[in-house]
Amino acid sequence: MNGPVASLNTVWFALIGVLWTGYFVLEGFDFGVGILSPLLSRDDVDRRITLNSIGPYWDANEVWVIVAGGATFAAFPQWYATMFSGFYLALFLILVGLIVRGVAFEFRAKRASASWRRTWGAAHALGSLIPALLWGVAFVDLVRGLRIGAEGHYLGGFGGLLQPVAIVGGLAGLVLFCLHGAVFLALKTTGELRQRAKRAARWLVAPSALLLAGVGSWVGAAVAGTPRPGSLPGVVPAALLTLSVLGVVLVGVSLVTGREGLGFGVSALAIVAATGAVFTLLFPRVMVSTLPGRSLTIWNAASAHETLLVMTVVAAIFTPFVLAYQAWSYWVFRQRLQRPPLAAPPAPRGAGGGGTGPTLGQ
């Protein structure tokens, strides 16, 4: 199937890229806060505050990935079928992580036992870590290429997804999400917790920039010699990757000057640019095959034109309402979170005294 560049096939490829970008920006700080919560919290009050910082947002943020999956299924069914069969175990693990994280939110406060709360806090951290790592692995694999057969089936196993470059990509995504979460936590909290979050963010700047630059160079070198008919000039993904690394560096600068809001904005920009680099490097393919002539493209993996036209009309009507609602919810819950006056900071280790003070409720 052929057509002009400005066709509905291209439009829906771009829209799916926007959906994944929105998911990584919004869910990325949820993942980061969840992973860092046990490391940055000094008592149960801190842990409750970290969870409260993302409590109003996390379930709405997950809607982005549901819509991205649904849009892929409707607009590019062959892409959906091949990706979900090839990444079956990886996506199953991601789903388990997301379920565990959601359950941890609800179960943690059901009992006052310290061990119960620690257990569910650890479960929440693990449920955040698994998707943060595996999403990076999956998207590097999309660009790097997989063994796709003539009927669009992935010919490898789970081990075939865990190539060294994909693992580095997973680590890059994990560290970038942790940086994003640390900056968000610094923006939403006060006192010692805010200072610990800022210190963690500053420590994460260098590894985030190095991993992003490293995996980008590695993937770029790997695909440099492969034929990519109809693709965008290589300078486009390269420029986006450079912008992503620059955004990470600017996060460090903004934290030094005490401007957490700017830091959160540029960390979001870094994620936007990194995701954009992936999708512009893919275009016009949706999944790259290491076997000649087997790659899926926006033409051979797409639904009928009439389907795409109906989807476009529906998206144009309902998307503004969804975006307006989510923007309103972020505005309503924009205030910083503070420790209750009676919940004093925990005493230094080795100091006398009993408990850590009263804890926050649900």
Q: What is the predicted pLDDT for the residue at 343?
A: 54
Which CA distances in Å does 155 have to 79, 135, 146? 15, 20, 8
Q: What is the predicted pLDDT for the residue at 2?
A: 47
Q: What is the predicted pLDDT for the residue at 277?
A: 94
Taking the C-alpha atoms of residue 38 and residue 189, their distance in angstroms, rounded to an integer, is 16
Domain that holds residue 132: 8-332
Contacts of 183 (CB under 8 A, 6+ apart): 29, 197, 201, 251, 255, 260, 263, 264, 267
Q: Is residue 343 part of a domain?
A: no
From the list 55, 51, 64, the residue with the least C-alpha distance to 25 is 64
Which CA distances in Å does 173 have to 159, 218, 257, 276, 334? 19, 15, 26, 14, 26
Cα angle 52, 97, 175 (rounded to 5 degrees) comes to 75
Taking the C-alpha atoms of residue 278 and residue 139, their distance in angstroms, rounded to an integer, is 7
Asked whether the beta carbons of 356 and 340 are under 8 A apart, the reply is no
Which CA distances in Å does 42 have to 38, 345, 347? 8, 8, 10
Quote the number of domains for the chain.
1
Q: Is residue 341 part of a domain?
A: no
Q: What is the predicted pLDDT for the residue at 295?
A: 85
Q: What is the predicted pLDDT for the residue at 352?
A: 42
Residues in the chain: 362
Q: Is residue 75 part of a domain?
A: yes
Write the pLDDT tens digit of every residue in 30-54. Answer: 999 999 999 999 988 899 999 999 9
Q: Is residue 347 part of a domain?
A: no
Q: Is residue 337 part of a domain?
A: no
Q: Is residue 85 part of a domain?
A: yes
Q: Is residue 348 part of a domain?
A: no
- Stretches in the chain below the pLDDT threshold 50: 1-5, 350-362
Q: Is residue 359 part of a domain?
A: no
